[in-house]
Structure 1
Amino acid sequence: MDVRGKLALVTGGSDGIGREIALQLQAAGAQVIVTGRSAEKLQAMAALGFGTIAGDLSTPAGVDAVVDGVAGRPLALLVNNAGVGSEYELDDPASLASAEACIRTNLDAPVALCTRLLPTLRAQPEAAIVNVTSGLAIAPRAGGSIYCATKAGLRSYTQAIRHLLKDSNVRVIEALPPVVETNMTAARAGKKMSAHDCAAEIVHGIRTGKREVNAGMVKLLQFVNSISPALARRIMIQF
């Protein structure tokens, strides 16, 4: 996809991977609108020339704000990047609120945005949807059961709508990051991919027509999974 002059929407685009995707799309010539929850971070993105939309995608009002914010504009690229973790604990009913917010942000919101913005995308000569899932969509880890479930659900949805849109002008791309250095993973130890490098692989995939972007160590996970899904699950469940 030639992104020059095209209008892109990056959810969760004021921080982390989303911010880097937005910056790199802008550098490639796209006009970019970002969404986020932090007024301060959105103000900083506006100062860099980005359009901004404030909205919490765990709420219907937040999804409405995003849809209304691009209404009447020639949106050609939708990047569903916004995502949150969950503090869900299996034996703690009080943690269900955290689980519900994670499900609404990571799965419900991308489905709603794909559905509600599809007519606009169809109206463009060339368009694309990018759903950012995770290596954990391939095989889950026990410590992130709800997060993994949302990403696995989004992966399945992405594969299904790719087939449904195969004869249209809308290309559907899945991006699968590994553990990336962001605020969400700050408490986790171990090697992490930089947000810049992860975004670079995703943007390259958009520009070169890939259907799936396996970033960083996810390439190795996909290889193991292709040989033995059971082995991939055994490795990742304790990751």
Structure 2
Amino acid sequence: MQLTGNIVLVTGGGTGIGRGLAEAFHRLGNKVVIAGRRLELLKEVSQANPGIEYMSLDQGDAGDIRRFAIELKDHHPDVNVLVNNAGIQRVEDITSGGPGTAELTIAINLLGPIRLTAAVLHQLLGKPHAAILNVTSALAFMPTAPVPTYCASKAALHSYTQSLRFQLRDSAVQVIELIPPQVQTALQGQRGFEGMPLDEYISETMTLLETEPQADEIVVKRARGFRFAERDGAYDDIYPVYNEKMVAAAKRRP
């Protein structure tokens, strides 16, 4: 991936990994546009980083994605990098309650990036150095029981990303999957889960993008154990121990 001279769109750019990536690309001299539902957070990022622009986007709403794509083409026709980062993570008790949380999670975490990619792909196909970066999770490869639909949505996005990459193999659009470990962001709330410091994750990710410009996946060191657990024959040993720990932590949450 070309790291400079881009016009980068980052969804979920108001907080967490999205904000970290947006600011990192901005520091490299790229023009950055962030998008999300909470305009006050987007405005805060823009004010802290003069030059970053922001747009409203409810990724869980198919109609709003269509509206957003039209406005994006009108105001930022030269966007050549799409970072599908926006997502939610909710604790679910599968044994009680309805599927509302699961449906919302799938709408935002899976249908959202699929719909947005489809809506802006025609813009990217005409650019010489285009890229789509899909942010999945190490939990796509080592699901944690308290957040089952989140893990399922990220596993599905991983699969979609592979197919997207293959279908675009003869185009100028590079498809990259970012696979973070658990990172210290507001996504996990106050559930007491340990995570990689956000600044460290962003720094290592940007270094990997620079040193491995043709990589299909960007996997920081802390995520490799989960990402490659099945390949390395470690999945059956890690899964029960890890999930007992996560269930215990979820029970202690406020």
* TM-score of the superposed pair, with normalisation by structure 1: 0.92
2:70 aligned residue:
68
In the TM superposition, what whole-angstrom CA distance separates every residue of 1:132-157 from its partner, at most 9, and x where no partner exists?
A: 00001012111111101100000010
Whether contact under 8 Å (2:15, 2:41) holds in the other structure is: yes
Q: Which amino acid aligns with 1:38?
A: R
Equivalent residues in 2 for 1:97-108 (5 A)?
A: 97-108=100-111
2:16 aligned residue:
16
Q: Which amino acid aligns with 2:173?
A: V
SS at structure 1 position matched to 2:231: helix
Q: Offset of 1:42 from its aligned partner?
A: 1.4
Q: 1:62–1:204: structure 2 CA closer, same or farther, 3 Å change rule?
A: farther
Q: Which runs of 5+ in 2 are unaligned?
A: 247-254
Q: 2 CA distance for matches of 1:108 and 1:41? A: 23
1:88 and 2:115 are equivalent in the alignment: no
Q: Which amino acid aligns with 2:23?
A: L
1:7 aligned residue:
7
Whether contact under 8 Å (1:201, 1:213) holds in the other structure is: no
Match of 1:110 among 110, 113, 121: 113
Match of 1:183 among 175, 181, 186: 186
In the TM superposition, what whole-angstrom CA distance separates every residue of 1:10-29 from its partner, at most 9, and x where no partner exists?
A: 00001001000000000111
Q: Offset of 1:232 from its aligned partner?
A: 4.5
1:171 and 2:171 are equivalent in the alignment: no
Q: Which runs of 5+ in 1 are unaligned?
A: none
Q: Which amino acid aligns with 1:191?
A: E
Q: Which moved more, 1:96-105 or 1:197-206?
A: 197-206
Q: 2 CA distance for matches of 1:204 and 1:153? A: 27
In percent, how many aligned pairs have the same letter?
A: 31
Q: Which moved more, 1:60-69 or 1:170-179?
A: 60-69
1:193 and 2:196 are equivalent in the alignment: yes
Q: Which amino acid aligns with 2:148?
A: S
Q: Which amino acid aligns with 1:61?
A: G
Alpha-carbon RMSD: 1.8
Q: 1:51–1:212: structure 2 CA closer, same or farther, 3 Å change rule?
A: same
1:43 aligned residue:
43
Aligned residues: 238
SS at structure 1 position matched to 2:146: helix
* TM-score of the superposed pair, with normalisation by structure 2: 0.87
